[in-house]
Amino acid sequence: MFRILFIFLLPFFVFGAELSPAEKNASIYGALTLIPPLVAIALAFITKDVILSLFLGVLSGTFLIGMNDNGVLSGFVVAFTDLCARMVASMADAWNAGILLQVMCIGGLIALVTKSGGTKALAMWLGARAHTGVRAQIYTWFMGIIIFFDDYANALILGPIMRPLMDRFKISRAKFAFIIDATAAPITGIALISTWVGVEISAIKEAYAQIGVEDINAFTIFVETIPYRFYNIYMLFFVVASAVMMREFGPMYRAEMASRAGKNGGRDFKIANLEDQAFSPKEGIEPRKINALIPLGAMIVLSVIGFYANGLGALGEEELKAVQADPFSFVSIRTAFSGADASVVLFQAAMFSSIIGIVLGLWQKIYGIKEGIEIWIGGWKTMLTTVLILLFAWSLSSTIKELGTSKYLVDLLGESTPMALLALVIFVLSSIISFSTGTSFGTMGIVTPLAVPLAASVGAKYGLSGDEFHAFMCLNISSVFTGAIFGDHCSPISDTTILSSMGAGCDHIEHVSTQLPYAIVVGIISTFCGFLPASFGVNVWVCLAFGLGVTVLAIRILGKKVSGEVR
């Protein structure tokens, strides 16, 4: 009798008030929590329809959640209503709303710049100096490095500026999107001043607090992890090496050869540019670089100033006093940037820059005030597909979070992992979570609190101390951050991947399918030339030099020479 009663009451003990919804769902569904991201990702490649794939991915997740309390039949109804509620909640979130507004507002800004002949003039100016397709790619890479402070700004600004130049040399939109994506998160993730620094430093500090270490300089640890960011460094180098060697492989090679033959993404090259023609400069208008440099330059400058000013408002009293004591020191600037709300700042900068763009057009009598506003609104409309994709991607992310997908994956790790394999295991785990959820930040927040205590425990178990222990900790923290970016690069539901496709004017699935082999190759090089040797005590600088050499060798062996380059 007592045994029967115990079995009956067991669920109430297991799924009591102490368990969060994610923990409860992860315990109930286990591996089934992987269904929503797998559905979204698999269908994206099969159907080539990102919106449909994301919709069904979210719906499968909300069905699993709804089925818990409502049964199978009612679960379908609840699933649909929950999906709609999540989309509303995604749009209502302050951060997400800022991202949507900045995306659409930058679309309006780019329409103004393009209509006034600014992008054409800038492309002509760069084209006079970029005499080959190789130089065009290097210039694009360099521009991506310059816009180091935010990955979203990189994708949204770099695309419209460099697209005409890349088209001139018949560089495929897929390769263009890859260069944008490869110089977005990889450079922002290791920049000393960026919108990422606050997230990374906070994750480090909170994770160390879990092992009872409060008195640490999280920024110093962040800086010391940079040499161990193997994927970031190898990927940035990969872009330059593939451009200089003029070699591509896999789907990217086919995309490049098709582009050289006058096709872009399997379509006629002219058809691929229809979205640009709507905002092509008026006949008789002389293209001027100032029509691009002034508004876009204003956006960059205003963004940097905005990050500082907005960040100051988010600081605590003690931090604010420290910054005010020496407001323009590196530490003060970094502290202010770490507290900034990037989504709001970029929207504000884009809005003000749009006003500058309209005024420039009026001053040069390119269009009247009414037409200028119509052009700006038209630019907003071009971003509606991107907005819808982002809303579904965020809804999928919230569904996966509540379903406990990440909790299930993290629980697969035990403390039995050997020290030499720990960094690799954490890298792979971070990659899987980032790939499944489409978010680098979320992955860092999920895995760092696991990685730091686990690394500290394993390091102590193997008798590490002093500099060896510190280097081991930096290696494992880096494996979280680089794995998050690697998985994000591979994921079709990542917001930066989506924005890179949009910025380059490339079909989203084509961008994902062409970038995926490159990301995997660099990920493998990061594993065998970076994390594994470093785990066995090889000097990090030797690992970096070895990995860069292997990157060149991989491109040489796997790649084929791209012929038909326009000189």
DSSP, residue by residue, 317-337: HHHHHHHHHSTTSHHHHHHHH
Whole-number pLDDT of residue 233: 95
Q: Burial letters for 395-425: b for 16+ Cβ neighbours within 10 Å, e otherwise? A: bbbbbbbbbbbbbbbbeebeeebebeebbbb
Q: Where are the domains of the chain?
A: 204-230+414-559
Q: Could you tell me how many residues make up the chain?
A: 567
Whole-number pLDDT of residue 223: 80
Whole-number pLDDT of residue 269: 38
Return the structure tokens found at 260.
């050289």
561 DSSP β-pair partners: 247
| Sequence-distant (≥ 6) Cβ neighbours of residue 532 within 8 angstroms | 420, 423, 424
CA distance 334 to 198: 9
268 DSSP β-pair partners: 263
Do 503 and 160 contact (CB within 8 A), yes or no? Answer: yes
Do 80 and 130 contact (CB within 8 A), yes or no? Answer: no
Residue listed under structure tokens 């100016």? 125
Do 158 and 143 contact (CB within 8 A), yes or no? Answer: yes
Whole-number pLDDT of residue 273: 43
Phi-psi label, residue 284: left if phi above 0, alpha if psi -120 to 50, beta otherwise: left
| Sequence-distant (≥ 6) Cβ neighbours of residue 269 within 8 angstroms | 167, 170, 259, 262, 263
Whole-number pLDDT of residue 527: 94
In angstroms, how far is the first alpha carbon of the chain from the final one? 86
Whole-number pLDDT of residue 5: 38
Whole-number pLDDT of residue 90: 84
Whole-number pLDDT of residue 7: 38
Radius of gyration of the chain (CA): 24
CA distance 485 to 496: 10
Q: What is the pTM of this model?
A: 0.71
pLDDT tens string, the chain, 567 residues long: the values are 444 433 333 444 444 446 677 777 777 877 788 788 788 777 876 776 767 888 888 898 888 888 877 777 777 888 889 889 989 988 888 877 887 887 788 778 878 887 888 767 776 776 677 778 888 899 889 888 877 766 776 777 777 778 888 888 889 999 999 999 999 889 888 887 665 766 677 678 777 876 777 777 677 788 889 999 999 999 999 999 999 999 999 999 999 998 887 766 544 334 334 344 445 666 667 778 888 888 888 887 888 888 888 888 777 777 778 778 778 887 787 777 767 777 788 788 889 989 999 999 889 888 888 988 888 888 888 778 768 877 887 788 788 778 877 667 666 654 556 778 888 988 998 898 888 877 787 777 777 777 787 788 778 777 777 888 888 889 999 999 999 999 989 888 888 888 888 888 888 889 999 999 999 999 999 999 999 999 888 999 999 999 999 999 999 999 999 876 544
Whole-number pLDDT of residue 485: 92
